[in-house]
Chain A
């Protein structure tokens, strides 16, 4: 069985920097985020998860789609995504979110060329978790601390060494090219567990199938009136979420250059559904919060065969009023037979 020593990782990343843009967990003013690194030893290996998700690697918070200049009637499309990239150290939940984003933005009815180009030139090396946080619920949504879905290579953390599991053909090519030979194929056994399957990872508090069926009947449920009463309507949950992907398109002009930008947007904002007529079909926080839950746990399952949540727990840990989505899900999912 071939392993990579923990203290070899820096050198491995240094080797990649010549050919790839490398993203890894780094600390920026005390906050862990994924960012470009310039040297392998910048990457932080001991961490639970980053504050923001790595989705910005594929879908930056603000990106220019089109631009035109001065009198020139021509429009340039900004579809070139530059150097191929490696995302190193993603947690399995975040890698699994890419699988979800692929379904929505690349492989479904409409192909988002900006996303797809970045995705096709990104290699994902994730690191399995040994110590899930109190907010983690990946196993509820179909993933697990050793799930390899969405990753090209999954590193299983064995303490001083990592065992590399190759999870895609691109991962296999990459492993061969970088001397990670003799790696294991496929997912490690018991991907929903930690410590080699000895101990079940996280108790799933909700059954997704049951929840989906309950939500199908709950659009007008009075529970929506009370569950989200304390919600402030900010965008923390959407913006930290690795799976949220809604955006706004804005046209701007500066110094004679006109640009069409895409920026993240959130269904929790009142202007998200405000129509030009002045009408807003989701006038209050309660409709907006319902949309967030329904979209993730009902409509996404219908449309993409997968929930729009991977259980990373960011929205749980960072919500300023501790509106814990797991409790909301339990309130619906727990009610067998429902009304």
Chain B
């Protein structure tokens, strides 16, 4: 058992026993190799289910929305960024959540591991000293942990919790702030090429809404795509409808997206939503000097007016 696992269990038991929270949301062992799964603990006796490992990738802040209970939540850097925004947007009251913050080394993408080890039927994965060691019952194979991270984790700038009530585990060193180099190439292409790329990605979308539903900031009680009287966006796979959905979603997340990558990880079709979102985040960072979720004291850039806001879009189209 890792130290973090032990500490999470300990803190959970304490919070429940002291009656500070009604439940704690954390992770437990998944039903498949390379998976952890969200779990909801209400009894101190159940804390033994809680775990912490390289596959705790879901953004649990999602579950705070419209909750009417006092909740303890296990939160990585990106999860706390989402909580910060949810508090600012008055979706969550700070006094109703107890944050068990966990400094994060980056979460591992099961697809990357499978891709790498191809044929072996992975049963176990050990995560030690920067290596992942996968076993199929007979052989053991290892790969660099860094090479198996989710895309969002590779470019993450906030691995330590932004806010927390209890900190579990050692703080990790932050990566140097990137300048959105991962989307620089995309940004440098012509409008036609960018259009072609995005349209190609969207052509695989099956409109399952998993991206929206996994996103901690997509909490509208009635999403525009569910509006049927009248219908705002067609429900099928017509390219214009698919694109409308994604463009409206990404614009609605401008200045709010915390770059957690939950949407990308949820997508069953491998649609590259990351490029679209990161490109938008890059614009927000450049125009408003804002990285959502990093600064609890700073107002949301698109819901406040500042005389210094960029205005060239009005003056010089």
Contact = CB atoms under 8 A, between A and B. Distances in A.
Interface of A: 28-31, 51-52, 61-62, 134-135, 226, 229-230, 232-236, 238-240, 248, 250, 252, 261, 263-266, 269-271, 274, 276, 316-318, 320-324, 326-327
B306 interface: no
* Of A29, A62, A261, A320, most B-chain CB atoms within 10 Å: A320
Nearest to A61: B237
A19 to B, nearest CB: 28
B32 A51 contact: no
A236 B236 contact: no
B299 interface: no
Contact of B228 (A62, A274, A320): A274
B231 A250 contact: yes
Contacts of B68: none
B269 A322 contact: no
A232 B266 contact: yes
Given A134-B32, A271-B226, A321-B37, A232 B213 contact: yes
B26 to A, nearest CB: 11
6 contacts: A29-B204, A61-B207, A229-B40, A235-B209, A316-B31, A321-B37
A322 B235 contact: no
Contact of A234 (B38, B204, B213, B231): B213
Nearest to B222: A270
B32 A239 contact: no
Contacts of A320: 58, 210, 214, 265-266, 268
A236 to B, nearest CB: 5
Nearest to A323: B37
B108 to A, nearest CB: 14
B43 to A, nearest CB: 12
Nearest to B201: A29
B214 A62 contact: no
Interface string B253-267: 000000000000110
Given A61-B236, A61-B237, A271-B228, A234 B37 contact: no
Given A269-B226, A276-B229, A233 B206 contact: no
Contacts of B33: 134
B268 A240 contact: yes
B236 A263 contact: yes
A248 B241 CA distance: 15
Nearest to A240: B268
Interface of B: 30-33, 35-40, 58, 62-63, 121, 200, 204, 206-210, 212-214, 226, 228-229, 231, 234-238, 265-266, 268-270
A51 B269 contact: yes
Contacts of B204: 28-29, 31
Contacts of B209: 233-235, 269
Contacts of A30: 270
A260 to B, nearest CB: 12
B270 A29 contact: yes
Contact of B32 (A236, A265, A269, A317): A317
Contacts of A318: 268
Contacts of B226: 269-271, 274
A263 B210 CA distance: 17
A239 B58 contact: no
A31 B269 contact: yes
Contacts of A327: 31
* Of B37, B212, B229, most A-chain CB atoms within 10 Å: B37
Minimum-distance CB pairs A-B, first 6: A62-B236, A234-B210, A320-B266, A322-B37, A324-B31, A263-B236
A135 to B, nearest CB: 7
A271 B224 CA distance: 11
Nearest to B269: A31
B37 A326 contact: no
Nearest to B115: A30
Contact of A232 (B214, B236, B270): B214
Nearest to B111: A30
B234 A234 contact: no
Nearest to A315: B268
B25 to A, nearest CB: 9
Contacts of B200: 29
Given A29-B200, A52-B269, 15 more contacts: A29-B204, A134-B32, A134-B33, A232-B214, A234-B209, A234-B214, A235-B210, A238-B208, A250-B234, A250-B235, A263-B235, A265-B235, A269-B226, A321-B38, A327-B31
